[in-house]
Structure 1
Amino acid sequence: MITVVIATRLREDRLGYLEAMHASLTRQSVPWEAVIAIDGADPKLLPAPLAGDPRVRTLVLPRQVGAACARNLALNDVRTRYVNWADDDDEFTDDAMAVRLHTLEATGVGWCAGYSQDLHPEGTTTLWRCPTPPGRHEAGDVWTYWKSPSDTIPIGPTTLLARTDLVRAAPMGGLVQGEDYMAAVGVTSLAPGILLRLPVYRYRKHPGQMTRQDAYDVLEPQARRHAWNYGRSLRATLCGRETRDAAGVV
């Protein structure tokens, strides 16, 4: 029923994290499979627990194409009704798949999400509540909780379990960062969904994460503005309205 799509460059400092992500999947109580998009790396570096798991399939890309492209190409290999994005250095809570799958099957909505937790190096967690309130949201409503591009994004992209057809219609955006913001506002603009009041994903804090790199802040404001405008324009188009971008330009 569920495929988890993960892009990785199999960097040595992240292999242990990738194993932890896989271990969190093995603790799920519902059937799943994973597609690992290996972004220009030697597939022989894939940790043994993943290489030996028949539920894990790989897409080996001959050169580095970036996370957005790698994830989108991996969508071609998804063969289940639902899909969930994930990063190679994070992990899921133990009931993440079951509780969201049950909600999707019971209600017929297109997506189901939850809160996330920051996972600190010492193993402690801090809950992050997204600006979108818990409960049912109609198509396009999630974007309205992203008041301006500089604000916190309205929902956690990796907390979304969504119908595969919706994810293919609103995949990762073509950006070097912030591509997942576009995926989140895209999916939630195309179908109604439900946000649960419980954590389903753990976002690992460590020195090697992208948001800790020196160059991250250089493009982040533009990436956020692009994703914000995308969400606003998509919502307006589906509602048949003209709109303006974050700078007031039609």
Structure 2
Amino acid sequence: MTRIISVVTPVHGPAVKFLPAAFESLGTQDLPDGWGWEWLVQVDGGDEADVPADVRGDSRVKVSSNRRGGPGVARTLAWGRSQGELVKVLDSDDILPAGALARDIQVMDENPSVGWTVCRVLDLMPDGSLQHYTLGDPDPGLLVRGDLYAYWAKTHRPMVHPASLCIRESLLAEAGGWMALPASEDTALLMALDVMADGWFIGETGLHYRKHPGQTTAHPDHRDGAEWEARMEAIRKHADALALRHLPA
């Protein structure tokens, strides 16, 4: 019986044009024996026909749509259709380098106590160049439960890139999927996971994160103002409630 890693991708509006590149990057993934992938594409506020026919034509690609609900809602609906024991995040405008999924699977198989992984990320710039997205990464290996949240609580920066998450499906279910936020829903999930279980940082590059003017993080409300403050407080409340149950006193 084939074991499945489910790749979940929300897409809205103009970002549909990036789906063929994401699909091509999935095609480069060479998985360990006994594993396969499925791609759950969730069109937020659009129609399945918005997804290019050559992408929809692959039997491993499962496309659905919903009334406009935002990225957190679309991610959760995509996960709701999934069949895999692992759930991998892939934004519609991002690209998986070769070997990314195999490394996630290997870490999870070799470390049963690890609930989630993240990895080194390179920003894919508009001119096609690649740049390291942060000033520094943690050392490869175990991320002790609660450490990332402690850092985020002081800085409101997640230290590692939540767009590279791979999660055990059972842990994602316990976390409740993604919060219904207009942005930062991936950071909210990362903080929840961090207080619930140990993670693992993979030192090899596992994501090319596309930078472009239309992305959510380019919105003027993303890092300041009343909406930002409410998002940060919602993330904190969720993580704090989970920490009471999962972190030692």
What are the equivalent positions in structure 2 for 1:1-250 lying under 5 Å apart? Answer: 1-9=4-12, 11=13, 13-30=14-31, 31-61=36-66, 63-108=67-112, 109-129=114-134, 132-148=138-154, 150-170=155-175, 171-216=177-222, 217-218=224-225, 219-239=227-247, 241=249
Partner of 1:248: none
- 1:213, distance to aligned residue in structure 2 (A): 2.4
> What is the one-letter code of the residue matched to 1:3?
S
- 1:100, distance to aligned residue in structure 2 (A): 1.5
Q: CA RMSD in A?
A: 2.0
Unmatched runs of 5 consecutive residues or more in structure 1: 242-250
- Alignment partner of 2:90: what SS? strand
- 1:52, distance to aligned residue in structure 2 (A): 0.8
TM-score when scaled to structure 2?
0.87
Q: Measure the CA separation in 2 of the matches of 1:145 and 1:132.
A: 12
- 1:233, distance to aligned residue in structure 2 (A): 4.2
Q: What percentage of aligned pairs have identical amino acids?
A: 27
- 1:177, distance to aligned residue in structure 2 (A): 1.3
Q: How many pairs does the alignment contain?
A: 237
- 1:165, distance to aligned residue in structure 2 (A): 1.0
- 1:101, distance to aligned residue in structure 2 (A): 0.8
- Alignment partner of 1:78: what SS? coil
Map Cα deviations across residues 179-205 of structure 1 (whole Å, 9 max, x no partner).
Answer: 111111112222222111122111111
Check the 8 A contact 1:93/1:199 in 2, yes or no.
yes
Unmatched runs of 5 consecutive residues or more in structure 2: none
Check the 8 A contact 2:72/2:180 in 1, yes or no.
yes
- Alignment partner of 1:57: what SS? strand
- Alignment partner of 1:224: what SS? helix
> What is the one-letter code of the residue matched to 1:77?
R
Q: Measure the CA separation in 1 of the matches of 2:65 and 2:161.
A: 27
- 1:96, distance to aligned residue in structure 2 (A): 0.7
> What is the one-letter code of the residue matched to 1:47?
P
- 1:20, distance to aligned residue in structure 2 (A): 0.8
Runs of 4 or more consecutive aligned structure 1 residues displaced over 6 Å after TM superposition:
none
